[in-house]
Every structure is written in C-alpha cells, then in structure tokens.
Structure 1
Amino acid sequence: MDGSSAQAEPPHPPPTERRPAAGEPEPALGTAIGRDLTAFSRTVTATAGHLIGPFAEPGGGHANHYTVTMGDISKQLAKRPSIQKRMLSFNHRSPGELVRSKLSTAEIQHRALTHVPDEMLANIPPVEHAYSLFQGFQATVPDETFAATERGRTRHRRRSSGKHKALEGLNGSTPDGPPTLAQMGREKAALTRQLEMLGIRKHMSSAEIREIDMKIANLNRMRNIVFDRLAQLEQEESEIEHEIVAVENKIEELEDELALAGIGENNMHQTDPSSAEDTPGEDGSFMSESIYNKIPGKHPRKRKTNRKLSKPMLHEHLEPGAAIKDMQTHSDTITCLDFDVPFGTMVTAALDDTVGVWDLNSGKCLGMLEGHHASVRCLQVEDNIVATGSADASIKLWDLSKAESYRYQTTADDEEKGSKHIAPSMAECHILTLDSHIDEVTALYFQGDMLVSGSEDKTLRQWDLEKGRCVQTLDVLWAAAQSSMDEGKWRTPGGRTANGDFVGALQCFDAALACGTADGMVRLWDLRSGQVHRSLVGHTGPVTALQFDDVHLVTGSLDRSIRIWDLRTGTIFDAFGYDHPVTSMQFDARRIVSACGENVVKIYDKTDGRHWDCGAGLKDDNPMPASIIDRVRIKDGYLVEGRRDGMVGVWAC
C-alpha cells in the first residue's frame, strides 16, 4: 500500500464489519478488542507514509499531514474516551515537541550530573576479587545439612572408625548398619563444598579489611590536612592577639601623654610666679607634691602582655607522646624551667649562669634575664611575673610585660637581615629583689602577693610582695629537732646537704604550706601560727618535688619512688618506684610526669593506672643518644622537659 492509496482510503471501519442485531448476543470481549486493534493498525499503517514520506508542500506541509493523521487516529479511538482524550492533546503538538517531551528537565539534569567521562572510567582499578558476587552470596547462605552441632557430634566418630566403615561399605552393609561408600562420598563432597565456601568467606573478610585500611589511610591524610590548617589558624591567631596588645599599649601611652599635657597646662595657669617660694617643692618646681604623684610618668602604667585570649588546642589533637619541638636553650645542664600556657612563654635556667625567656610557639629566645651573680636554682612563671631563686641567696621578680615588644620585632629584623638571632637583655624587666636568705635559695612558690622560699640556710621565709619584705621566718632545723631528729644527718663535712638540697620542694595555698626536705620528711605548716601541723613519714631519701590538690599530695624523692598521700588521713594512697632517683615531678588533671635519671620522661596515667615513657630516648634512629632529663613540667597535656646538654623538648602528653 503506497502513500496515495492510503490517503484516499477513508479512515472508517471496513464495510465487512457487522454489528450485532437486536436480540443477538454481543460478541466476546476478545473478539471486539481484536477488531478494534485491527482497525487501529490499518490506520497507523496508512498514516505512516504521511509521517515518514517526502513532503511535497514546501514550508511545513508536514504539519498538515500530521494534523490529519492525528484526527484520523482520534476518530478510531472514539470507543476509548480516555485514550482519545490523551491523543487529542497530541493533535496540537509537532513531532519535535513529542520527542522532547519524553525527557523531563529533571531527568536531563540527572543524566548530566551523573555522566562519567571515559577518562575517569579508565582510571578505575581492575577488580582483584577472585570470586564473583554470586559466589560470595552463596558463601553467606547457611548450610542446614551440616550444622555446627552435627559437625561436633560426628567429627570424633569419623576420625576413630572412618577406615573401618569404609571397608564395611565395600563388603555391602545393611541400611541400619554403617554408612556405605556412596554415602561417604556424598559426605566428602558436602564437606569439600563447605570448605570452599569457608575459603570464599575468608577472602571476603580479607578484602573487607583491606578496604577498611584504605579508608583509614584516606582519613589519616584528611586529618593531616585539617591539622595543618588548625596549626596555621593558631599561628595567625597568636599574631593577631599580639597586634591587639600592641594597639592597646599605644592607646594607653597616648592617653598618658594627653593626661600629662593636661596636668601641665592646668598647673601653668594656676601657679602664681610671685608665690613660688610658698610651694611645697623644695626644688623650685611649679607642681605640688600631690599633683606630682598624679603624673602617669611617675607611676608608669603596667604594660599589657601578649596573653592568650583563646585556649590553644593544637596539642590536644596530637598522638600522646608526639614530639612538638626541640630547642637548644643553654650550653649546660638545665637546673629549672617553667612556662605559663601551652605554646606560650617559657623561662629556663642552667648551670651556665644564664636565664632565658623563650617563645614556645616560634621556638626563639625573647631575651635574657640578667642580674643574678650565680646560677638560678628554682623559678616560677605566673602570668607576666617570673620569680627566680639563685645560689647567690637572692630572689628576684621580673615583669615580662615590659619586654613584650622584643617578641615579634626582633624576630622580623633577624629574618630580614638573615643573621643569627641575638637575644636582648631584659634587665629592665626587674622589679624587685628579696635578699634576706644567707645561703642558696633552692625552692620557692608564690601566689598573689605572697611568696614562700626555702634555702640551704635551713629556713623557710614568707614574703609580702606588696611591701617587698620578709614577714615570717620558719626554722626547719628547729622543727626537726622537736621531732628528735639528729642534726648530723643533714650536713656533710663540706657544708652541703647529703645527696640533695635541704629544702627540695614546697608549695603553699593560703595559710597551708607543704615542704619536702632532705630527711625524707614532708611537713605541713600552718603559716598563721608558724607551726608544723602534720609530718608525713615514708620517704627514705631527700624529697625533690611535691605538688598537692584538694585531696592528694604527690611527692618525688631521691629514694627512686613517687608517693601519693591522702591529705584527709595523712596516709599513703599509692606509691610506685623507678630504677633511678626522681629529680623532678609534676601532675595535671590526668597524668603524673617525672624525670628519673633517664633520657625519657616517666608518665603515670591516673585514669587507667598505665605507665609509659615519652621522650627522645625512644627513637632508635638517633646517631647520638639523647641526654639525661632532669626537669619536667606539664600543663593541660603539654609537656616540657629539660636535659643535661641544655636541650628542651616539647611533647604532647
């Protein structure tokens, strides 16, 4: 049938179609649907030529053919109103619109986003699995034929009489007798299949472990990236905090200058030159003493220091025992050290008679505290104030905020010049000297306006920092004599204490003072009465370190032990020993760290009772062994240790 005949043929049912007469039963439903489909197929066949044939009329003649064809189809579907309604909607659409309507906008967007180019598909690694997905599924299906209970019940019987039963099967056994050879073969096949399934499951588990390891490696790489980002943020935070402090200091200086200029101008207007001899000032100055005392320059305002406005958290995300920094601070054994906050300011002293101030963030020296005539034996850092006790029997207090301008300015100059950093002197930071002791100062502790010091002169002295004088002297030797102690135990013929300092460590809180001495005693003093309230007996060597909180007091001694005391009962709560004498100890909320004559720091975790080591001595790749550690300090999981070669190590703990 060609296109012309199809166009001349009317789109009506063929004349041979007969409708049922009145009273005649309706044809079967299948017969009626078959006739309708036949008529519909003829119409579609007839109109196909109009859709795919050449268009005779120029300029869109196909639209007319399409409209006529759709009209013919709608007439054929008169018996199906629902289909006819949908076909009528197509009557006003072009073939191009019909094609485009098959793909919705959402589907086009989805296909565009989910399309993977061939370049990316080429990078997909090949499949390394030896088994297919279907085999893996088979291996996970439980085998009911040989359950675990049945295997356990028959395994021993097969081992003991397997050969005998096989021989009986060869001779022919009864159904109620031993299994036949065929049964044994089936059992072997089942067990072999089960063994194969177990091998598949093992391979699946191994592949899953490798996939988990790969995910862990990827997560570690992502963690390192975020960790570096956190370190950069904390570095920028530190610099911005320094700039804020610098701006605040400049604002205060400008305010002081304006106030001074205002006071001078007021006095110039109020002072009568004819009555200059009546002014209180003997030097002929135009300002009275009361006004003179109000001048900001007379009592300079305390400079702000570069304090941490936010808490550093970088070390909290490091693995315990991870190295943060190594610093060469001195050329001789470090005698004492302390720092304020993690990544803050550290002060160190050594036997080379130098005291250095260091920036723990950059690792560079901010300056040297000069003024002592001998090595510093003990020190403490509290906010901006540093207290140092020396072998020259003096105690000096320093205000680091006065030297805060050295921090970034000096570092920037060195970087521009490319020269070696030269630490400036911080002698101008000195604010007070306490010199009532007559021998070496070996221990000190200050809090607020009160400072307590211990010396080789066998006394403890309480100082009022506001007035700058000693307000109480406690005779430790007299207190020991009250306890029937032999004085000869304390001194050697050379005049030094045997094995350790006479006063090895002390700490105070309000009126309570704890002091550890060379006789191994820990005495609790009441500063209000100047008497010993309690003596803790247990150590057999000089006490070198102590620290207490609300409930417990922890002490370290040259007898190679650390003891934890219960302050409520005065008894030993816990104790543990080491291979060498304990020279330094401190604890924070979770861990007790101590220096015990080794190149590692001994750490005791109070939460789980675990002992572990931290330090450069654990590294096997060092060509030179690490030096012995003598001093340790810890705050908020941030550990600093000082060694005999002048090195300082910073660790996450």
Structure 2
Amino acid sequence: MAAAASWTEDVMESLQLNLGVDPVCRLPEELMAKILSRVDLQSLWRCLQVSRAWNTVAMSNPVWLAQFQSRRKWKAKQQRVEGLNWKKMFTTRHQLDVHWKQGQAKTMMLNGHTESVYCLQFDDEKIVTGSRDRTVRVWSTKTGELLKTLEENQPSNGEKIGGHLGSVLCLIYDNHLMVSGSSDTTCIVWSLPEFKATHRLRHHTSRVLDCTMNDRFIVSCSKDGTIGILDKKVADYPLLRIIQACQGSLNAIHMQRNLIASAGVDRVVRLWHAETGKGLTSFHGHTRGLACVQISPDMRIVVSGGNDNTIRVWDVWHRQCVRVFTAHQGLVRSLHINGHKLISGSYDKTIKVWDLDSLTLTMDLDQFHSAWILTAKTNGKMIVSSSFGPTPVVLDFTTGLDPRYMNLIEY
C-alpha cells in the first residue's frame, strides 16, 4: 500500500507539472477513481478535503470498494447490494476493528442459571448455554431475554426422552439439530428450531466432556478416554466406531471436515481421520494435562491449552510446534478460533485475544469475571463467556455501528 501511495503521488505531481492544472479537472472520473483506489487510507482522507471535485471522486463507490478489498482479513457477504455505500461499509468495518483494539464493548449479563455454566454456543439470534444445574437454556442474542429452558422430564413426540440427569458439560448445534453431552454419560439430540429432545445416545461409560460435528458425523469424547463417532445422516444416529484415544480422561475434541483433534490428561494432542477412525499424527510438548483443542478452518494449524498454563500452536503440515503462548497464569480452559482471531479463557480469570497471522496477543480482558473462565467464544462481533458461576457475560463490540452494514460483513 505504501508503494501504491508513492506511485500515486508521483503521478499527481507529474500531471500538475505537465498540465499546470488540477488533474481531477482533466482526467476522466473513472481514471481518477482508479488512481485514488491505490492510495493509503490517510492520503484518501486528505483527498476528501482538497476540493469539491476531489471530494466527489474520493467519495465514489469504486474507491471505497477497493479500499475494503485491500484489507486481506475483511470480507463482505455480498459485493453487489442495491444502494450499498462502500464508504459506509468501510468505515463500519474499520470502526469495529477500533472497538476490538480498544476493548470497547457493551456488557450484558444472562441471568437464569442457578449453577455454573460449562458450555455455550451462539449466533446472531440466540445464545445456548449448558450448566451444572442440568439445564440447557436459550437466550436472545440481542436482548439477553431467556427464551427457553430444556430440562429433565420434557416430553417429546409422546416419548419421555427428557433432559439430562447430570451437569451439561458440552453442546454444539447447526441449523437442524443440537447435541448436548452430560456427566450422566449420555448425549441428547435435539431437533431445531423447536429444541425438542429426539434421541438419547448411550455410547460412553463415563461423563461426556466434549462434542463436535459436521454434516456427516457427530463426535463425542469422554472421561473414559474414548471418542465416539456416530452417523449423523441416519435417523437413529448409529454408532460407527469407538476409538480408545487416551489412557485416562479425554477432555476435548474438535473437528474440521474429516479431521478430528483430541486432547486429554496424557498431555498429547492427536489427529484422527473421521471417515476411517485412523490415527494420523500426534503432537508432544505440553508438560501437563490438556483441557481444550481447536483446528483452524483451513486445517493448517491446531491450537491446544491446558494445565501447564500455555497455549501451543501446531503446524499440521510440518507436524511441529511453531509458537508457545505463555501469557496466562492459570490453566487454559477454553480456546475458540474465529477467522484470524483466537480467544482463550483461563483459570487466571482472564480472556485473551490473539492474532493467528502474527501470532501475537492483541487484547487482554481481565475485568469481566471474578472466577475461573470455563468457556469463551466469539463470532467476530461479540464475545460470550462464562466463569465458575451462573451468569454468562456478553461483550458486544458492535455498539453504535450501523446494523445494516454489520449484517453485510462476513467474519
């Protein structure tokens, strides 16, 4: 971008010397827009103030579309929207980054659980939480209103499948169903959007600690050290295979496409092929048991955290550790990847935000929880987290930003 700005300044100087007039008055607007599309943001703001003619060109949609597209981490859901103002789109996205850098967020508390919240997932409409009080609760993302409580003895289709008989330790959902796992050793499948319990799955002999899924498989892990892989495409969700993955508690699992990552008390991160159940590789380096693991969307890296207070970043292709983060002062309990951001939550009562491109710490949040962080997730616009207590916290970084343009941004 700096080279482009230098080139543009040279062009402008040459035009002014050779023509002796303002180039905006001589060159076609399309050409001037193309030139201004290549300047850096600070120079573009100056161009807006030169004159009315310069302002007209510098405000044009092609200029700001090019500015938006030049940010490698920025994406729009649609490039062509009726009446879309790309300057407004750019400034909205830019201001969101400013909010993240400054930790500027509106705080909302979710009040309703009676004991600690161990797991959660959310989208633009709903937040779903699972708790030691044996319930799953559904909240409005926008207002924090409690919409639904899923608990024991809830009838479904005339059959008393009920809810969980123990703590809800994990959950995951997509557009059609949700799976929750519990200390009662079972998983329950819930149909969406009704949140009706349809199946209770019994394939572990101890508490179900984590679950994940894609469009083909439901995968869970347990304190019994096993991974259970079930067929999501078949109505009764039959068990395809059980893998003995750890000699001891298998605490965390995550899947991207056909790649499964697991982490447990044996300190080893292992990768598995979901279709075959075959072990692919293992990563050694942590010095104490593991609590969380995540695979990046492009499947190039795996991140893991645990009781040695570190986060390790593993290069899947080269099968080696490329970075160790040591900023946490307690067990790293939760990891979540969204785009280029990694969110970590720890027993040191902090949530930290990392940039996965530069592998650096970009934000440290230590003022929102007074107890161990149990889970923390982000969608690029907000963070929802819970600690050793009944009240999850929502941090909304979009406050004051135009919702129309926020809805057009992809994270």
TM-score by length of 1: 0.42
Mapping for residues 117-266 of structure 1, pairs under 5 Å: none
CA displacement, residues 363-411 of structure 1 (integer Å, 9 cap, x when unaligned):
1111111211111111112224221001111111112312xxxxxxxxx
How big is the shift at 1:590?
2.5
2:294 is the alignment partner of 1:547: yes
The answer (yes or no) to whether the contact 2:256–2:295 under 8 Å persists in 1 is no
Tell me what 1:358 maps to.
139
Amino acid aligned to 1:387:
V
Amino acid aligned to 2:365:
C
Q: Distance in 2 between matches of 1:588 and 1:527?
A: 22
Amino acid aligned to 1:364:
E
Residue 316 of structure 1 aligns to a residue whose secondary structure is: helix
2:206 is the alignment partner of 1:439: yes
Change (3 A) 1:313 1:385: farther
Tell me which stretches of 4 or more aligned residues in structure 1 moved more than 4 Å: 312-315
Q: Distance in 2 between matches of 1:558 and 1:388?
A: 25
Q: Distance in 1 between matches of 2:186 and 2:353?
A: 34
Change (3 A) 1:315 1:594: farther
Q: Distance in 2 between matches of 1:603 and 1:542?
A: 22
Q: Distance in 2 between matches of 1:372 and 1:313?
A: 41
Q: Distance in 1 between matches of 2:350 and 2:361?
A: 16
Change (3 A) 1:472 1:315: farther
Indicate the structure with greater helix content: 1
How big is the shift at 1:457?
2.0
Change (3 A) 1:600 1:511: closer
Instruction: Report percent identity of matched pairs.
Output: 24
- Aligned match for 1:319, one of 91, 99, 105: 99
Q: Distance in 2 between matches of 1:334 and 1:603?
A: 21
Amino acid aligned to 1:392:
D
Change (3 A) 1:651 1:589: same
CA displacement, residues 221-261 of structure 1 (integer Å, 9 cap, x when unaligned):
xxxxxxxxxxxxxxxxxxxxxxxxxxxxxxxxxxxxxxxxx
- Aligned match for 1:616, one of 325, 349, 367: 367
Amino acid aligned to 2:118:
T
Amino acid aligned to 1:647:
T
Tell me what 1:390 maps to.
182
CA displacement, residues 455-479 of structure 1 (integer Å, 9 cap, x when unaligned):
12221111012242101111224xx
The answer (yes or no) to whether the contact 1:323–1:650 under 8 Å persists in 2 is no
Residue 457 of structure 1 aligns to a residue whose secondary structure is: coil
Q: Distance in 2 between matches of 1:315 and 1:347?
A: 28
How big is the shift at 1:355?
1.3
The answer (yes or no) to whether the contact 1:318–1:652 under 8 Å persists in 2 is no
State the superposition RMSD in angstroms: 2.3
How big is the shift at 1:319?
1.6
CA displacement, residues 84-118 of structure 1 (integer Å, 9 cap, x when unaligned):
xxxxxxxxxxxxxxxxxxxxxxxxxxxxxxxxxxx
The answer (yes or no) to whether the contact 1:604–1:611 under 8 Å persists in 2 is yes
Q: Distance in 2 between matches of 1:318 and 1:327?
A: 26
Amino acid aligned to 1:335:
Y
Q: Distance in 2 between matches of 1:460 and 1:315?
A: 43
Change (3 A) 1:384 1:614: farther
How big is the shift at 1:594?
0.9
Tell me what 1:598 maps to.
348
Tell me what 1:375 maps to.
167
Mapping for residues 340-359 of structure 1, pairs under 5 Å: 341=123, 343-359=124-140
Tell me what 1:513 maps to.
260
Q: Distance in 2 between matches of 1:556 and 1:475?
A: 21
Amino acid aligned to 1:602:
K
How big is the shift at 1:599?
3.2
Q: Distance in 2 between matches of 1:610 and 1:458?
A: 33
Q: Distance in 2 between matches of 1:543 and 1:526?
A: 21
Q: Distance in 2 between matches of 1:591 and 1:637?
A: 11
Tell me what 1:415 maps to.
none
Mapping for residues 486-505 of structure 1, pairs under 5 Å: 490=248, 502-505=249-252
Change (3 A) 1:541 1:463: same
Q: Which runs of 5 or more residues in structure 1 are unaligned?
A: 1-311, 403-425, 478-486, 491-501, 618-624
2:256 is the alignment partner of 1:464: no
Amino acid aligned to 2:240:
V
Tell me what 1:476 maps to.
245
Q: Distance in 2 between matches of 1:509 and 1:351?
A: 28
Tell me what 1:46 maps to.
none
Tell me what 1:45 maps to.
none
Q: Distance in 2 between matches of 1:598 and 1:378?
A: 22
How big is the shift at 1:315?
9.2
Residue 110 of structure 2 aligns to a residue whose secondary structure is: strand
- Aligned match for 1:450, one of 217, 223, 228: 217
Number of equivalenced pairs: 286
2:300 is the alignment partner of 1:557: no
How big is the shift at 1:600?
2.8
Q: Distance in 1 between matches of 2:294 and 2:112?
A: 26
Q: Distance in 2 between matches of 1:315 and 1:328?
A: 30
The answer (yes or no) to whether the contact 1:350–1:375 under 8 Å persists in 2 is yes
Larger Rg, first or second structure (1 or 2): 1
- Aligned match for 2:282, one of 535, 538, 541: 535
Mapping for residues 562-577 of structure 1, pairs under 5 Å: 562-577=311-326
Indicate the structure with greater strand content: 2
TM-score by length of 2: 0.65
CA displacement, residues 486-513 of structure 1 (integer Å, 9 cap, x when unaligned):
x5xx4xxxxxxxxxxx111112234322
Residue 170 of structure 2 aligns to a residue whose secondary structure is: strand
RCO higher in structure (CA 8 A, sep ≥6): 2
Residue 193 of structure 2 aligns to a residue whose secondary structure is: helix
How big is the shift at 1:646?
1.3
Amino acid aligned to 2:239:
C
The answer (yes or no) to whether the contact 2:99–2:105 under 8 Å persists in 1 is no
